[in-house]
Amino acid sequence: MSMDQYPVQEPLLSSQGVKKRPLFVSSVKWVLEILMWVIFIAWVVFIFLYPTQFGNELFEKFVGATSGTLFGLSGSIFLLLSGPILLIAFLAIAHLIISGEDEFHHKKNSKYPSVRLWTFPVLVDGPFGVVSAAEFIGILLFVVYIIWAVYVYTLRNLSLISQLHLTSKDEGYSVFCFDILICIAYLLGSALLRLIDIPFEHATRYHVWLGHLTMLLFTLHGLFYVIGWGMQGNLRYEIIEWRDVGISNLAGVISLLAGLFMWVTSLPGVRKWNFELFFYTHQLYVVFVLFFAFHVGDFIFSMAAGAIFLFMLDRFLRFCQSRRTVDVVSAKCLPCGTVELVFSKPGNLRYNALSFVFLQIRELSWLQWHPFSVSSSPLDGKYHLSILIKVLGRWTDKLRGVIMKASEVETAKSPDQPFQPHTKITASVEGPYGHEVPYHLMYENLILVAGGIGISPFLAILSDILHRVNEGRPCLPKNVLIVWAVKKSNEIPLLSTVDMESICPYFSDKLNLETCIYVTRETDPLLEEGIVHKATNSSICTASKGCGMSVLVGTGDNIWSGLYIISSTVGFIILLCLLDVFYINRYGVQSWWYKGLLFIVCMFASIFIFGGCVVGLWHLWERKTSARDEYREDGRKAEKVPNNEDMEDKNFFEKNHSSSTVIQYGSRPDFKEIFGSVSKRWGFVDVGVIICGPPTLQSSVAREIRSQNLRRESHDPVFHFHSHSFDL
């Protein structure tokens, strides 16, 4: 049955389903957004102008007007280049708190569908992966700035060398210094991206891009110095020199070596070959930042200190959250080689169907963390969260072995001893991270394209939509097409983990759902004459109510998060003030590297002391709230945890309405045909296309979306590309 056979329905998100915002709230949000953009644009314009003579004059005037204050030159530079980043963070916090008043932030689609810069793929192949038009413009501007800055600095340095005959001890070779600082500011300021409504997976991509650019510039910076020292014959002396006043060369070498180790092990081939090597060497960022501060001193380091400070805030909060041990309420090994884990969580932990978590299993390793998409909707249950893990590498294979062994122990228990303790698997969880706004709910027409275990977040999306439809919550989707490519048919029962009829009885009358499954490595169906894959599995289920996840990170409480950031920042300023008055100025401290160390110590101390107090109060509030919810709601223990035994012996096709499910064997999705068919049936509408799969699948879908949008006619739909990271 195709979607065009359904009657046209009104959007599920009607004016009756959405609470109208007061005019004052909408006005405040609008003002905050304008302020953030004005500050950001002014900051970017100054960075572009800084290499010029005019920019230098502006900089010198500002420093001259402010350097006489308590904090001196470092404070002036910090205020000018790092202050805007922190101010945007404060405004973003206020914006998130106001936005949090609404259950669902609906951005009304235009009456006339049109192409959007953020969702129109321009580049679909190459080192950047799939790049939208907005991202492409950003990349071009960044490249233009780098080339422009290098050109200006090169001309200036050549002029100085020819006029003054500078030696290597001068800054004749420091062409890339300011560019490196700006790249580091963006690189470590990725925590800010989530505050300003950039999805977590996009922030991860930008972090990777900027990491490559930063290390390229840093390597060239160091290489030019080494060549210059070698030409002058004093390479050995210069490379180990550690000056008290001026640039410390040895510190720069150590920082560069740490960065090179991180860079090499983060390359896709190495990361895929040995994820543990990538993860462990990436912790060298501590050495990289610390010795970078030693290398340049406090006043140069202060140029990038704002972004580094936000990064440290994020890391400390994640560290605090990950100290809690979370009980795995249920663990199952499905026959298709997939593991399902269900975690206990507090009722006030908020997330959406496109969220991620970072997971550590104590029984496997105390050091390894791995990212996974959430496979459950926040409406599936108030006190649990689920993820699906495909067994592919050593860590996941060990996880499956632990679950199967625990299951055997559970099975072997004597029925005469029913009160024996249950086997436990303990974990630490960071997150959930994700977009504050569930953009899968903002299109009336959705196409979900998955490859293999990439179906996991779409199970959460499907469950979320069905719950909202059944409960009358705000929800736009009315046409949903799932395109799923799998290697073998034993993966198909994963779809039945979402019991559609149980969630929303007679959902086919309210939601047009169509599923197309492509089994690529089997030419003939194995399910014949009613024989189906049974979801026989090894599983364990604990009897305890479980220790839930912490709400300190991710889409948690924005008020507490804002207090944490603001208090840490204020504390940092107070500590800098006290340090300058009672130590640096009083004792005449002049050593650059030592002042850089003191600068970092103030950053860490402010987070630990001032931010730590807020985190402690936050933790106590969380425990009190959880205890109150547990007391008020006796239904917590009775809440049903997803159990795959429910789908044993059930025919997949009967459960999921085979009339709307098409399975093709021995073929891959033909996206030209799929999108062409959708164009004919859905007409002139906005179509959201969300892809979760390997890079080749994302490129294929993006290429076809670009083609469809470029040659579309007036009555054809506009396709909007959204990628959900398959491998963080």
Residue-wise pLDDT for 303-313, tens only, equals: 888 888 888 88
Determine the average pLDDT of the residues in 318-333. 82
Residue-wise pLDDT for 657-695, tens only, equals: 444 788 888 888 888 999 988 888 888 888 899 998 888
The answer to whether the CB of 463 falls within 8 A of the CB of 513 is no
Tokens representing 308 are 């580094």
Residue-wise pLDDT for 27-41, tens only, equals: 888 898 899 889 888
pLDDT of residue 483: 92
Q: If you write DSSP's letter for every residue of 165-223 in order, what string do you get?
A: ---TTTTTT-SSHHHHHHHHHHHHTHHHHHHTT--HHHHHHHHHHHHHHHHHHHHHHHH
Of the listed ranges 174-178, 449-453, 476-480, 552-556, the least confidently predicted one is 174-178
User: Rounded to whole angstroms, how far apart are CA atoms 23 and 108?
Assistant: 17
Residue 534 has pLDDT above 50, yes or no: no
pLDDT of residue 32: 87
Q: What is the pTM of this model?
A: 0.81
User: Rounded to whole angstroms, how far apart are CA atoms 518 and 407?
Assistant: 33
Domains and CATH numbers, the chain: 23-100+175-321+556-621 (no CATH), 325-409+424-524 (2.40.30.10)
Encoded amino acid at 323, one letter: R
Residue 69 has pLDDT above 90, yes or no: no
Mean of all residue pLDDT scores within the chain: 77
CA torsion 421-424-430-435 (nearest 10°) is: -90
pLDDT of residue 170: 45
User: Rounded to whole angstroms, how far apart are CA atoms 171 and 194?
Assistant: 37
Q: How confident is the model at residue 13 (pLDDT cuts 50, 70, 90)?
A: very low
Residue 223 has pLDDT above 50, yes or no: yes
* Three-state secondary-structure class, residue 55: helix
pLDDT of residue 706: 92
**Rounded to a whole number, what is the distance in angstroms from the first to the last CA of the chain?**
36
Residue-wise pLDDT for 109-131, tens only, equals: 556 788 888 889 998 887 788 88
Determine the average pLDDT of the residues in 584-608. 89
The answer to whether the CB of 91 falls within 8 A of the CB of 22 is no
* Three-state secondary-structure class, residue 7: coil
pLDDT of residue 85: 84
Residue 101 has pLDDT above 50, yes or no: no
pLDDT of residue 627: 66
Tokens representing 538 are 């090894």
Determine the average pLDDT of the residues in 639-653. 47
* Three-state secondary-structure class, residue 132: strand
Which residues pair with residue 356 across a beta bridge?
Answer: 373, 433
Residue 720 has pLDDT above 60, yes or no: yes
User: Rounded to whole angstroms, how far apart are CA atoms 708 and 719?
Assistant: 8
